[in-house]
Amino acid sequence: AQSVAQPEDQVNVAEGNPLTVKCTYSVSGNPYLFWYVQYPNRGLQFLLKYITGDNLVKGSYGFEAEFNKSQTSFHLKKPSALVSDSALYFCAVRDTGNTPLVFGKGTRLSVIA
Amino acid sequence: GAVVSQHPSRVICKSGTSVKIECRSLDFQATTMFWYRQFPKQSLMLMATSNEGSKATYEQGVEKDKFLINHASLTLSTLTVTSAHPEDSSFYICSARDWSGELFFGEGSRLTVL
């Protein structure tokens, strides 16, 4: 069975500084990895995904993530944080195209002006 | 991009009544839809997988008679919370999968049971 770990409940970063939100995963086969963002009382917005190919994936709003197979990680990064990036971020994984996504517990990002 | 619409976005009901939440894929056909439940400050918990024209597959611990799921067409799945109680109060989110396997999420429905 697949699982996702987001070790940090909260990440605080100053505006303009780089940010990293950590994610590690466990799957039996090849992973399909995703990052989503959720604003208060809203659904999930897709940021980026890794299916195959280049380990560095670029997504929406300047976010990117690096797939590291040896460390089973898929950390989300952004070179320069904005206050508007403050939200709840979820990492998710599935092991085939047809299985449901399994979500991490979420990491709340707070960007301080 | 593809859009998934959930309705209502907020609903308040009395204990013992039933509430129906709709999930519609607006510009694509979704053979599979997923229903999630999210508790405050927690992650999304998969409740069930809904396949068009067949019975939903429920996750362990989810009462199928409590949470009725119907996926009668390729663009609509409904979740009915029957005989709702305060502990059913939660944020319910649906997602729909298009032909390529891409997943799109609805905006969520906040249910409050008094």
pLDDT digits (tens, 9 = 90+) for A7-36: 999 999 999 999 999 999 999 888 999 999
Q: In this structure, are residues B53 and B70 in contact, taking their beta carbons and an 8 Å threshold?
A: no
Distance from CA of A18 to the nearest CA of B (A): 25
| Residue scoring higher pLDDT (B69 or A96) | B69
pLDDT at A41 over 90: no
Q: Please tell me which of A57-71, A83-97, B27-41, B93-107 the model is most confident about, judged by mean pLDDT.
A: A57-71
pLDDT digits (tens, 9 = 90+) for B30-70: 889 999 999 877 788 999 999 888 889 999 999 999 999 99
Contacts of A34 in chain B (CB under 8 A): 103
DSSP string of A70-94, one letter each residue: TTTEEEEEESS--GGG-EEEEEEEE
By CA distance, what is B94's nearest residue in A? A43
- In this complex, which of A43, A46, A106 lies closest to B43 when CB atoms are compared? A106
Distance from CA of A61 to the nearest CA of B (A): 15
